[in-house]
Amino acid sequence: MFLNFIIVNVDTKYCDYLRKFDALVPLNHAKNENRPFIGILFQIHNVEYFAPLSSPKKKHLQMHNMIDFIKIDRGRLGAINFNNMIPVTPNNYEIIDLYADDFEHAKYLTLLRKQLNWLNRNKIKIIFKADNLYALYLGKLLPENIMNRCCNFKLLEEKCREYNLK
C-alpha cells in the first residue's frame, strides 16, 4: 500500500493490449496523437490499480459524485473515473516527476500537483470508493447502467498477469 498517492503515466501499448479484451479501457490518444494517460495508483486485494484522472471541464462543476466518479475539489481540479480503473504493475507505468523543470508543461504540472495534494488529503474517501465499486461490481450489485460502463476488473487482472509474463 502506498503511503501517499503518486501520479503515473500508463504505457500506451499496455492499454492497447487490454482494450483487445475490454473495449471500455479508455483510449489515451485523440485525433491521431498520443496524450499521457495520467492517474493515481492504489491497491485493491493485493492488486495494483490505476484510476485515470480527468482534467477540469465545465461539466464537472455541475456533475454529482457517483459510485464510480468523484470530483476533485468540487470539480475545479477535474475528476477521477473509477469505472475506468485498470490493474497495472510497475512495468506498465512511469512515475511523473511533478517538479521537473519543464517550462513547456509548467501549467499542466501545476494542475497535477494541485490534484495530487487534494487526492492525498482525501485518500481514505478515495480508497473506500475504489474498493466499494470493485466489490459491488464483482458481486453484480451495481445498477445495470453503472455495470455497463465499468471495465471488467477480474478479466483485466488476468490479462495484466499474462501481459507482464511476456
Mean pLDDT of 61-69: 94
Least confident of 19-23, 32-36, 87-91, 148-152: 32-36
pLDDT above 50 (res 4): yes
Mean pLDDT of 51-70: 93
Side-chain-side CA neighbours of 14 within 13 Å: the count stands at 25
Q: What's the pLDDT at 35?
A: 57
% pLDDT > 90, the chain: 79
Residue among 25, 136, 129 at smallest CA distance from 68: 129
What span, in angstroms and rounded, lies between the C-alpha atoms of 93 and 95?
7
For the chain, the average pLDDT equals: 91
* CATH T-level fold of 7-165: Thiol Ester Dehydrase; Chain A (3.10.129)
φ, ψ dihedrals at 13, nearest 5°: -65, -35
Letter string b/e over residues 47-82, b meaning 16 or more CB atoms within 10 A of that residue's CB: bbbbbbbbebeeebeeeeeebbbbbbbebebbbbbb
Q: What's the pLDDT at 28?
A: 67
DSSP letters, 29-95, are: EETTEE---EEEEEEETTEEEEEEEE---HHHHH---BTTEEESTTTTT-EEEGGG-EE--GGGEEE
pLDDT level of residue 105 (50, 70, 90 thresholds): confident
pLDDT digits (tens, 9 = 90+) for 143-163: 999 999 999 999 999 999 999
Is pTM beyond 0.85 here?
yes
Q: What's the pLDDT at 29?
A: 55
Element (DSSP H or E) covering residue 118: helix 106-121
Q: What's the pLDDT at 9?
A: 93
